[in-house]
Amino acid sequence: MRDSQARTTYLKDYRPPPFTIETTDLEFNLYEDHVLVVAKLLFKPNDGSDEPAPNALTLHGHELELRRLLIDGKNLESDQFFKDDDSITIPGLSGLLEKPQQQFIVEIHTRIEPQKNTALEGLYKSKKIFCTQCEAEGFRRITYYLDRPDVMSRFTTTIKAERQKYPVLLSNGNNIGSGIDEKNPDRHWVTWEDPFKKPCYLFALVAGDLESLDDTFVTCSGQKVKLQIFVEEKDLDKCDHAMLSLKNAMAWDEEVYGREYDLEVYMIVAVDDFNMGAMENKGLNIFNTSCVLANPSTTSDSAFQRVEGVVAHEYFHNWSGNRVTCRDWFQLSLKEGFTVFRDSEFSADMGSRTVKRVEDVNFLKTVQFAEDAGPMAHSVRPDSYMEISNFYTVTVYEKGAEVVRMLSLILGQENFRKGTNLYFNRHDGQAVTTEDFVKAMEDASGIDLSQFRRWYSQAGTPVLNIIGNYEAGKKQYSLKVQQSCPDTPGQNNKLPFSIPLRMGLLNKNGIELPLRLKDEKVAESTDRVLTVNQETQQFVFLDVPERPVPSLLRSFSAPVRLDFDYSREDLYFLMVHDSDGFNRWNAAQLLASDIIRELQNCAASNSLQIVPPILINAYSGVLDAVLKPNELDKAMIAHLLLLPSEGSLIEQVEIANVDSIFSAREFIANALAKELEDRFAAVFEANSSDNPFKTDSGSIAQRALKNLALAYLVRIGSDYWVECCFRQFEEATNMTDQMAALRCLVNSDSKLAIDLANASLKAFYDKWKDEPLVVDQWFMVQASCQREGTLSQVKELLQHEAFEIRNPNKVLSLIRTFCGQNYIGFHHASGEGYEFLADRVLEIDTFNPQIAARLLAPLTRWKKFDPKRQSMMQTQLRRIKAETNLSKDVFEVVDKSTIN
């Protein structure tokens, strides 16, 4: 058995690098079956280190063939250094250098085989395109280097390749020269120079036969920037949306953060095979095609919004990540949490703020809360890791973004902007820590954030238990607040957090009451932020004329579980009256969740199941409102009318009964559909206009509402609505409507729908088989089908001509969708879903460990399920763990998730 501890890296062991690399000169010679890399690195002892420069040089390197190694021009023989799987060490450095203790040049010749690189880290080939992915530790697969983010260097890169096959040769920075190879005119070269120092994880190279969509952006100081999106020729018609998103993001960052772009050119390249969504390499972002390409006929609205968000996210990294980078990978949230916060605010400004908030919080609560409650729980700034790739998590990203959001709420808009200005200016060109970020916020605002810092170091989701009490005689309303945080692996007995609790009080007419706390002379306002920073605390409000309904944790002001004993009437009331749109949605979710739980109990005790009128009234009220012109934001309505997802229902209880959650939820959805058929029909009709297709947020909202109504109507099961749905499938001119109809058909139990679904799936594939991203959606609808027998369907699809196990998009569409989103299918009582996932993880781990480890997540959630399922899930985790050749990535996950 491997020693987990020996394989672990700890934050407490951080030491500054012994050397810096001032300049990095790279030359790549690209051939069909290999690539030759020459790196010339100028080293200097690091002044910033407390320790004297050592007499040995150790560089990272992985799966490299070392051809030559020179120091200060002198060739090293193989007995002058030693190598292992991950590094090379040159001892006796002083004897080798021209000027010991000063700068020296190391020249490294390596040979690599990108064509055989299936892990998609380092330099690899995606179909015919050479491309790179160096974050977090991929650069060591290109050459020997100090592959750590606190080593920042000036890069110059020359790429040489065959002209015909690779007319486009790209790297970071500005193009400073190009030409034809004098000895071989079939080959050409281009040299790129990046004037900004950067860590090697931001290095990128692309070579291929690509076309580009070009545009320009003039920055606030008048600099002209060339914008280019490189894709295969067939995809040129799918780049406009990404380009528009990029220009919007550039303008937004100037306006909201005062951040200007800094190079002559900004390039985006799209490739099919990519482990992640996209990567922010300096001046040369590399994207998964799924996060760039968008066009109405092939792309659904949610994918349009994803493209906008990802393009913005990677652009924003130019400041939050590149100009100011991370000292070490424990600081990952410094760039990722902050940048997710920035991109979510951008999306909020581009569309509907409340809807964006609802979507983000829904995701956080179902996915991040689950991670925080499981065996992989870690703090926003983790203390240790075995494999850093496993720490690009929803905790580091989404909870990290929530932490920055809380800072912006606590500081207020003006101070927060002062804080970010100070942070960017103070640390420009540096590799820093989350502590440096908080310090800048503290220095700029004068607000003491000592207790707030615990959000970075303590894992787990805090629980706020709140009890309200009204004393009519005193006209006082009090909130008794208690906070706690569950133990997480390696962390018991947490200290209290500093939690911003945004709230208001509503009177019986839904009017907001002025909020005056004890010891205050006057009421500040009707909406305020209380600071909860002790284990128990009491807030007493004065001059409260009647018993109020409190609206708590408005806009989800902190990532906590809120426990307040609302009656159903209170929830209904908040759903109708709260001035905070987010809390209106939240009340609707709580109301529906409570009713679903009651129905589960009825089913368990074999008593009669009925949907309480309060829910029907709530839904019909919302439907009536949307039928009146301009009453409410349609996207918001669509969210208000959506029952809590199975994922969120599972998340809300200690031990989830997947089957009964599913049945109760289905029962209610079907009952609502039957009860409110007329209204859903009216909403469907009213929003089915054939206006020319647009992707502005209003049009997207209209389609969301229409398709929500359609989904309810198809539940009724009558041929009328099934046929109507089929007509929409056949006649749709955009992917959103077509997919929505297909999804309804595939999930309906009506006999007619079952027949139509099979025919439609076939027709859909025949129509779209040449569009890989559409085929991904086709895999997804089938993998998320809630009817019996989906697992065997998924197994069959693994053999389909369009399925490629080496393409991450395909794997995620089919396998992750089934295991991660299809609860009823994956958690089938037979345990076959678990075995299926374990088989796939073992298979994929042999060639792409990152994807294999990510796929495993659903099995690590075993704690949530009944003892029988827990034991079957454990069996599969142990089976994986018993495998001898596991990657570090998968090993870490199974090691932490298995008991005994």
The set of catalytic residues is 314
Q: Which is nearer to Zn ion, 318 or 445 (CB)?
A: 318
Query: How far is it, in rounded angstroms, from Cα 900 to Cα 374?
Result: 16
How many chain residues touch ligand BES (CB under 6 A)?
A: 17
Site string for ligand BES, 374-413 (x = CB under 6 A): ------------------x----x----------------
Q: How far is the CB of 309 from ligand BES (least distance, A)?
A: 6
What spatial distance separates the first Cα and last Cα of the chain, rounded to whole Å?
A: 13
Q: Which does 309 bind (CB under 5 to 8 A by kind): Zn ion, ligand BES, none?
A: ligand BES
Asked if 840 and 853 touch (Cβ cutoff 8 Å), the reply is no
Return the half-sphere exposure (C-beta side, CA atoms, 13 A cut-off) of residue 438: 19
Beta 154-162 vs 19-30: how paired, if at all? parallel
Q: Which is nearer to ligand BES, 249 or 745 (CB)?
A: 249
Beta 35-45 vs 104-112: how paired, if at all? antiparallel
Which member of 235, 314, 372, 436 binds ligand BES (CB under 6 A)?
Answer: 314
Q: How far is the CB of 279 from ligand BES (least distance, A)?
A: 5
Q: Is 275 helix (H, G, I), strand (E, B) or coil?
A: coil
Q: Which stretch binds ligand BES (CB under 6 A): 309-317, 595-603, 715-723, 806-814?
A: 309-317
Q: Which is nearer to Zn ion, 310 or 499 (CB)?
A: 310
Q: Is 103 helix (H, G, I), strand (E, B) or coil?
A: coil
Query: How far is it, in rounded angstroms, from Cα 503 to Cα 514?
Result: 11
Q: Which is nearer to ligand BES, 377 or 812 (CB)?
A: 812
Q: Which stretch binds ligand BES (CB under 6 A): 103-111, 154-162, 278-286, 500-508?
A: 278-286
Q: How far is the CB of 343 from ligand BES (least distance, A)?
A: 6
Q: Which is nearer to ligand BES, 252 or 477 (CB)?
A: 252
Sites for ligand BES among residues 323-362 (CB under 6 A):
336, 340, 343
Q: Which residues bind Zn ion (CB under 5 A)?
A: 336, 339
**Which residues share a beta bridge with 36?**
29, 111
Which member of 173, 283, 296, 309 binds ligand BES (CB under 6 A)?
Answer: 309
Asked if 267 and 214 touch (Cβ cutoff 8 Å), the reply is no
Q: How far is the CB of 333 from ligand BES (least distance, A)?
A: 11
Query: How far is it, in rounded angstroms, from Cα 415 to Cα 98?
Result: 52
Site string for ligand BES, 447-476 (x = CB under 6 A): ------------------------------
Query: How far is it, in rounded angstroms, from Cα 874 to Cα 894?
Result: 9
Q: Which stretch binds ligand BES (CB under 6 A): 190-198, 305-313, 355-363, 827-835?
A: 305-313
With a CB cutoff of 8 Å and minimum separation 6, the contacts of 310 are 277, 278, 287, 291, 292, 343
Q: Angle formed by the axes of helices 719-731 and 735-747, to 10°? A: 150
Q: How far is the CB of 520 from Zn ion (least distance, A)?
A: 42
Q: Which does 276 bind (CB under 5 to 8 A by kind): Zn ion, ligand BES, none?
A: ligand BES
Q: Which does 548 bind (CB under 5 to 8 A by kind): Zn ion, ligand BES, none?
A: none
Which member of 317, 327, 418, 743 binds ligand BES (CB under 6 A)?
Answer: 317
Sites for ligand BES among residues 248-277 (CB under 6 A):
276-277
Place of tokens 């209204």: 679
Query: How far is it, in rounded angstroms, from Cα 162 to Cα 591?
Result: 64
Query: How far is it, in rounded angstroms, from Cα 642 to Cα 645?
Result: 8
Q: How far is the CB of 313 from Zn ion (least distance, A)?
A: 6
Residue 870 phi, psi (nearest 5)? -55, -45
Q: Which does 135 bind (CB under 5 to 8 A by kind): ligand BES, Zn ion, none?
A: ligand BES
Q: Which stretch binds ligand BES (CB under 6 A): 188-196, 306-314, 622-630, 837-845?
A: 306-314
Among 259, 261, 270, CA closest to 173: 261
Query: How far is it, in rounded angstroms, from Cα 28 to Cα 880?
Result: 39
Among 229, 262, 265, CA closest to 244: 229
With a CB cutoff of 8 Å and minimum separation 6, the contacts of 152 are 20, 197, 198, 199, 325, 429, 431
Token digits of residue 593: 């969740």
Q: How far is the CB of 346 from Zn ion (least distance, A)?
A: 13
Q: Which is nearer to ligand BES, 88 or 310 (CB)?
A: 310
Q: Which does 889 bind (CB under 5 to 8 A by kind): ligand BES, Zn ion, none?
A: none
Which member of 119, 205, 292, 310 binds ligand BES (CB under 6 A)?
Answer: 310
Place of tokens 């406009």: 240
Q: How far is the CB of 488 from ligand BES (least distance, A)?
A: 23
Q: How far is the CB of 279 from Zn ion (least distance, A)?
A: 8
Which member of 108, 279, 599, 841 binds ligand BES (CB under 6 A)?
Answer: 279
Q: Which is nearer to ligand BES, 743 or 854 (CB)?
A: 854
Q: How far is the CB of 389 from ligand BES (least distance, A)?
A: 6
Comparing every residue's Cβ against ligand BES, the nearest one is 277
Sheet order of strands, 87-90 included: 57-60, 87-90, 82-83
Q: Which does 896 bind (CB under 5 to 8 A by kind): ligand BES, Zn ion, none?
A: none
Residue 520 phi, psi (nearest 5)? -100, 145
Q: Which is nearer to Zn ion, 333 or 433 (CB)?
A: 333
* 136 near ligand BES, judged by CB under 6 A: yes
Site string for ligand BES, 192-231 (x = CB under 6 A): ----------------------------------------
E strand or H helix at 694? none
Q: Which is nearer to Zn ion, 398 or 594 (CB)?
A: 398
Q: Which stretch binds ligand BES (CB under 6 A): 63-71, 313-321, 375-383, 773-781?
A: 313-321
Which member of 194, 253, 280, 328 binds ligand BES (CB under 6 A)?
Answer: 280
Q: How far is the CB of 274 from ligand BES (least distance, A)?
A: 8
Q: Which is nearer to Zn ion, 204 or 637 (CB)?
A: 204
**Which residues share a beta bridge with 191?**
158, 177
If you ran DSSP here, which 8-state letter would residue 815 be given? Answer: I
* 123 near ligand BES, judged by CB under 6 A: no
Neighbours of 766 (CB within 10 A): 8
Asked if 218 and 225 touch (Cβ cutoff 8 Å), the reply is yes
Q: Is 127 exposed, middle or buried (0-12, 13-18, 19+ CB in 10 A)?
A: exposed
Q: How far is the CB of 155 from ligand BES (least distance, A)?
A: 18
Q: Which is nearer to Zn ion, 160 or 399 (CB)?
A: 399
Q: Is 70 exposed, middle or buried (0-12, 13-18, 19+ CB in 10 A)?
A: middle
Q: Which is nearer to Zn ion, 238 or 342 (CB)?
A: 342
Q: Where are the beta strands (DSSP E) in 31-153?
A: 35-45, 57-60, 65-71, 74-75, 82-83, 87-90, 104-112, 122-126, 129-133
E strand or H helix at 86? none
With a CB cutoff of 8 Å and minimum separation 6, the contacts of 637 are 622, 625, 626, 705
Token digits of residue 793: 């369907």
Q: Which does 278 bind (CB under 5 to 8 A by kind): Zn ion, ligand BES, none?
A: ligand BES
Q: Which residues bind ligand BES (CB under 6 A)?
A: 135-136, 276-280, 309-310, 313-314, 317, 336, 340, 343, 392, 397
